[in-house]
Structure 1
Amino acid sequence: MAFNDLCEALETLLLQHEQMVGFAEKKKAALIANDVDVLNEMVTKESRLVKLIMDAEARRQQAVQSFLQERGLNPAPSTTVASLIRMISHSEDKLKLSDLADRLSAMVEHVRALNDVNMKLTQQSIEFNDFSLNLLASAYDDQDYVYKKPSDSAYGQHKLNFFDSKA
C-alpha cells in the first residue's frame, strides 16, 4: 500500500514539475518580449504551483515513512530512492520506482536550467534599463563649464535637463 502511495506522490510531483517547465518557458518568452503582464501572470501561477509541490512533497515523505515502517525500519531523513529500490523484491516495482525517480530528477534539472536562463535574462534587462537611465540622465549634464564666447550662447542661460540629476 505504501509503495503505491509513494508512486502516486512521485507521479504527482512529475506532473507538477512538467507544469513548472511550461511556466518557465512562458516566462522566458515574456522576458524576451518584454511582456510584463504575462510575466506577472506566470509568477503568480508559479507561486501557486510551488505550494502544491510542497504539499505533494509532504505526501511523498509520508509515503516513504510508511514504506519503511511496513518493512520494520526506522524512517530516516537520509533515506534515498536508491536505498528504497534495494529494499523492494519485486522487479517490476523496482523498475517502476527507478523510472519515476529518474524522470523526476531530469524534470527538476530542466526546471533549474530554465530558471537559470530566466535569472540571467532578468539580470540583463535590469542592467540595460540601468544603463539607459544613466545615459538619459548624463546626456544633459555634459555642460561645458569652460569659458565660452558670449556670442556663442546667451550669457547666463542654462540648458534644461531631462532629469534632475541631483534628485
Structure 2
Amino acid sequence: MTITLREVETADLDQFFRFQQDADAAHMAGFAPTNPKDRSIFDLHWSGLLNHDKSLVRTIDVDGVPAGSIAAFHATDQDPAEIMFWTDKQFWGQGVTTQAFDQFLQEFTTRPVQARVVEDNHGSLKILESRGFEEVGEESVFSNARAAVVKEKVLQLG
C-alpha cells in the first residue's frame, strides 16, 4: 500500500462529499453541516479552504485512490493554525491516517498548530498524542452529527 499526499483535484471533492455522507464517520468526527446532503454548503466550505492563502490542503491518496483529506488553516490571523483530517472508513485501522499525518507535518512546519477532537474519538486522539500534541483546553460544542453537545479536546503541537 502506497500512501501519498497530493494537491486536491476537482474529482476528489466528489469523493470527499461521499465520505461526508457516512453517518458512522460523521458521528466519530463529531461534526457535520446542519444538512450534510446539501452539496452547496459542502462546496462553499471547500472553496474557502482551497482558496485561502494561509491554508494547506492535501488529498490522502492510497494506491491512486482518494482516501481522505488533511488540511491546515487559520480561523483568524490571531489564532494558531489548525489541522483537520478525514479518512474514509474503509481505510480505518490500517495506518493510512497516521502515515498521511506524518507526511503532512513534514510539509506543514508552522508551529504552534492545533487540532480539535471529540473526546471519544480515540483513533484521532492517539495519532495526535503520539505525534507530540498536548491538550491545552476543552470546549463544549454542539455537534450536528450527534444532535447533542459534546466535549471537544483542543490539542497543540508547540
TM-score (norm 1): 0.23
Structure whose residues are more often helix by fraction? 1
Structure whose residues are more often strand by fraction? 2
